[in-house]
Structure 1
């Protein structure tokens, strides 16, 4: 016999079907400054550097090729993509309880055995349908949370892509600087070797002393001692870059030191743009949305659950009759209502834990924004000061080269001692090495500010 639901129950079910307990998400109020610290006033309203595709910022073709390889085949990129697929699957799982669930079952139960009777059992087989009506939005909130967590996974992928672009560029420029430093050191060693040969000739002629010869030998040995360290650092950087690309450790060919068109001023855009530009902020907000939905899911546990169940099949003491469809037919349909009364505080504390996680998500969201503002401010200062550093180092190199030339002429003319030559050699080597480091700092500062503004990941969606 099929039992019908009373009309009042159906009407009430339809009326509350659109209800969902718990707070709807609203973005927290954030007190953002009007402009970034260190930003140039004329660049405040200019389009942000982060709006530029990474190919427009890193224009060197070999570097672009390495970045593309890392984004497509690097282990970090593949791992993040796999995590995103997992999140997509879990979002699908969360939507399943919103739909009726069907199944086929075969059950057995013993029957009462009278004295002298054989042991018998009854069998029930058939198809069943169950559907828990989401009266209070418990499953809808769970689905909402899963969608937000999926969005967080997408933003984690974007953040990984931005970080990968920056890391490949850092290794690339670091490798270029190491090659430049190696070239400078080898050139200095050759020059010092020529001076040593001159000193030996002068010493053999009695013009120079053996002490000066030993001093130059010591200076040459000190310069040559740094060469193995530089070669080791080059190999380590190449290996790190290879692993980032998913390659076996190996060397990278750099025929020409890479050139990078460095902008004079960085347009950072408005601080409010960071909320949309930075993947980590977007990820933190997605997690906040998920935590907010979980609060509603936890609150729904306090209310009764209503489910509709139906079964159609046959029952008999003969398993063969049930299997072959000869058993008497049975059918049942009706509601099941469950109201939790006591669960040892589980429902209450589950809600309290969800609320605490929501509070943590709000704090983390605000903290992520503050960290972003700090990174942008630090990046702007680093980029500005690196420009002044490069100018100073360029003047220092020019002065050191001229001092070296004059000291060499004076020594050959016999108007100065050899200590002046040694001193100018050390100063020139230090100046040229630090000039290469200054260029690296300038490039690293550009990478840092570009990453701080949230750039780098948009290329995958274009």
Structure 2
């Protein structure tokens, strides 16, 4: 009686000691999230947002739509991400299984012979046993039992671990969505670059024809002694220079095609594309909506938000390690030293029920370090979320400004191209009537070619700006 009382007192002191020491968790510095988003982009409160438009509607070119479709199915990086999502889904199942009871079956058979000159062997040898009642030697052991174990989730440590796994799974889905947006954007910009290169190649070929005609005229004038051999050689050099440009353009076309092929997960091959007039393409009108819409539209912002939420849950899981855990174990089955006795009930029945409480008392350095690391990662996640949100807002602001400036630039370059195109006809006429030097003709042709190249480049930048703003607004994934 006194012994039981002493045991109960010791157990009570142990529980109190574990509870007291568990309450002494380190004091950590916390950080709140700052949502740095302005009320509007340019003073407009219009909530119409181009980022919510489906990519199939946003991009009207059927060739571009077909390329994006293929990439979303075959892109290797996308398929790798899908497997990462599957891993995250499996992690949820693993965490869920940790706080549910574990039930199993166990069967075993063995034989044991105790050595004579051991404590157990000597005691068995000196024990007086009636004839026919001796313990079998060697002693068999046959058993079949069901067993169960359950850690009672008092502090919700296991449930929070599962909740963190679910949140990270959702973050991986958001990461996949962000990759989808970037993949669509990359294919579209490469596609428009390909169209621009086609147009530049056509311009070069037109200029080669114009310059070749000018060279023939100069040769005729030389025969008529109106110009010298120097003029002929300068015009000839100009034609050769322009002809060499087409091969650089062709190489860029090959590189851009193969970039698209890589994104589509296929071997090098020609990329089917529109053959229409590139100059007639009109950039899409953009509606940016409100900055607050980025919180739900941008997948990377959503991913950072979910990762922050998971990091906060990890802190709660790490804190629960300071508290004692309660476990329950049970078993039920049959056991005998001879297999023929297993069927003799209830003599062969065995059963057990055990409860145990385990908690840290001293030397909790590892637990403290885990707790502090979890909090540090949570603070990192706060900064990462703020950085991602700020970057999203700046990207939209930059692209809106870019669209306006490119529109003004394209309008002026159109006028420049028109003026230089007209100047070619004028310079040729003046040269033929000996009222202009051949260098003026060459310079005019060169300037006109460069201006047409610049106009195509600006048009491509305009089209790419509509792609970039679509990506910045979070379009393409939904």
Partner of 1:389: 409
Structure 2 CA distance for partners of 1:27 and 1:197, relative to 1, 3 Å: same
Superposed, 1:308-387 pairs within 5 Å as: 308-318=328-338, 328-387=348-407
Superposed, 1:17-28 pairs within 5 Å as: 28=33
Deviation digits for residues 354-391 of structure 1 (CA, Å, limit 9, x no counterpart): 11111110111111111111111111111111101111
Q: Give the number of equivalent residue pairs.
A: 432
Partner of 2:159: 140
- Give the alignment partner of residue 180 of structure 2, picking from 161, 170, 176: 161
Q: Is the 8 A contact 1:44 1:267 kept in 2?
A: no
Q: State the distance in 1 between where 2:205 and 2:422 align.
A: 20
Q: State the distance in 2 between where 1:192 and 1:165 align.
A: 41
Deviation, 1:130, is 1.1
- Give the alignment partner of residue 218 of structure 1, picking from 237, 246, 251: 237
Deviation digits for residues 261-320 of structure 1 (CA, Å, limit 9, x no counterpart): 4245x3211111111110000000110111011111111111111122110112223467
Q: Give the structure with higher Rg (CA).
A: 2
1:207 maps onto 2:226 in alignment: yes
Q: Is the 8 A contact 1:98 1:134 kept in 2?
A: yes
Q: State the distance in 2 between where 1:400 and 1:371 align.
A: 41
Structure 2 CA distance for partners of 1:262 and 1:321, relative to 1, 3 Å: farther
With 234-243 and 197-206 compared, the bigger mean Cα shift is at 197-206
Partner of 1:33: 38
C-alpha RMSD of matched pairs (Å): 2.6
With 318-327 and 362-371 compared, the bigger mean Cα shift is at 318-327
Report the secondary structure of 1:336's partner residue: strand
Q: State the distance in 2 between where 1:174 and 1:401 align.
A: 24
Structure 2 CA distance for partners of 1:287 and 1:73, relative to 1, 3 Å: same
Q: State the distance in 2 between where 1:33 and 1:121 align.
A: 79
Report the secondary structure of 1:368's partner residue: helix
Q: State the distance in 2 between where 1:69 and 1:176 align.
A: 19
Report the secondary structure of 1:215's partner residue: helix
Q: State the distance in 2 between where 1:150 and 1:157 align.
A: 11
Report the secondary structure of 1:457's partner residue: coil
1:408 maps onto 2:408 in alignment: no
Superposed, 1:425-440 pairs within 5 Å as: 425-440=445-460
Superposed, 1:11-410 pairs within 5 Å as: 28-36=33-41, 39=42, 41=43, 43-106=44-107, 113=115, 114-115=121-122, 118-120=137-139, 122-254=141-273, 255-257=275-277, 260-264=281-285, 266-318=286-338, 328-410=348-430
Deviation digits for residues 230-264 of structure 1 (CA, Å, limit 9, x no counterpart): 11110010011011111111112333356644245
Q: Is the 8 A contact 1:60 1:260 kept in 2?
A: no
Deviation, 1:343, is 4.7
Structure 2 CA distance for partners of 1:383 and 1:327, relative to 1, 3 Å: farther
Report the secondary structure of 1:149's partner residue: helix
Report the secondary structure of 1:273's partner residue: helix
Q: With structure 2 as the length reference, what TM-score do the two structures score?
A: 0.85
Report the secondary structure of 1:303's partner residue: coil
> Structure 1, unaligned stretches of length 5 or more?
1-20
Deviation digits for residues 309-337 of structure 1 (CA, Å, limit 9, x no counterpart): 11011222346766999981101123222
Deviation digits for residues 76-97 of structure 1 (CA, Å, limit 9, x no counterpart): 2222222211211111111111
Q: Is the 8 A contact 1:176 1:257 kept in 2?
A: no
Q: State the distance in 2 between where 1:32 and 1:89 align.
A: 36
Report the secondary structure of 2:355's partner residue: strand
Partner of 2:442: 422
Q: State the distance in 2 between where 1:274 and 1:319 align.
A: 71
Structure 2 CA distance for partners of 1:109 and 1:267, relative to 1, 3 Å: farther
Report the secondary structure of 2:335's partner residue: strand
Structure 2 CA distance for partners of 1:229 and 1:326, relative to 1, 3 Å: farther
> Structure 2, unaligned stretches of length 5 or more?
1-24, 116-120, 126-135
Partner of 1:5: none
Q: State the distance in 2 between where 1:371 and 1:398 align.
A: 40
Deviation, 1:139, is 0.6
